[in-house]
Structure 1
Amino acid sequence: MAIAAAQRFGDRFLNDHRMLRLVAFLTGMTLWMVAALSIAVWLWAAAFMMLGVFRLPEDALYFAAVSFTTLGFGDVLLEKPWRLLSGFIAANGLILFSLTTAFLIEAVRRVYQAEE
């Protein structure tokens, strides 16, 4: 399907500066959102380190990333007094991923609205 779409619309896509601007805009916005989500993961990892939950920053960052994305591999676990934090970080991740998705959709809507 991707090849068929590229053959059908490829020339128009490459010659349409508006489409290239939209792609560049979306790429920039997506990278900005990924950076913001990464900062949130680093903040959780820093909180784990400050609380003394993990001794190694790598473990704190790994656990924060796995929990934030709700993967929850289970190979690194929190001790019993801190287990509830894993639920909070997962909920935080779900909310922030939803907000970034909504933000990107709204950004695209506004770009299209401005072009009309």
Structure 2
Amino acid sequence: MVATRNGTSKAAEHTSFGGERLQRGGPHGLAKADPQTITFGAEVARLREEAGLSRIELAKRANVSRSYIGQVETGTTRCRDDFAIRLDQALGTGTQLIDAWTDLLRSAAYPPGSPTTPAPRTPPRSSAPTR
């Protein structure tokens, strides 16, 4: 519970970029991270550091705030697939992060058809002639 300006209490919530509401509850009132978002965030941080970028530099390239990059990297927010694509573009990592994001959602218990469930991927077309 969090005290409001008028003295009443309410449950604290955090809204992620993808619209997912995460209950606050960790130390310092931060949103609780789950293993999937922590793993994804660690991959974002690894790729950012590998590229030699600070959080501020990546945030500028991805057109978001430094704190949002921090939330993604620590796993306290789950981004949408379009943001994973923007991160791949900003870092020049091909499809590494969108692939990791898709794996995150497949490993999590999200109901089919929810807004954060990835669409099935279409297999690439083969350039080999058919018989």
Q: Which interval holds the TM-score relative to the shorter structure?
A: 0.3 to 0.5
Give the TM-score of the pair, scaled to structure 1: 0.38
Q: Hey, which of these two has a bigger chunk of helix by percent?
A: 1
Q: Please identify the structure whose Cα radius of gyration is greater.
A: 1
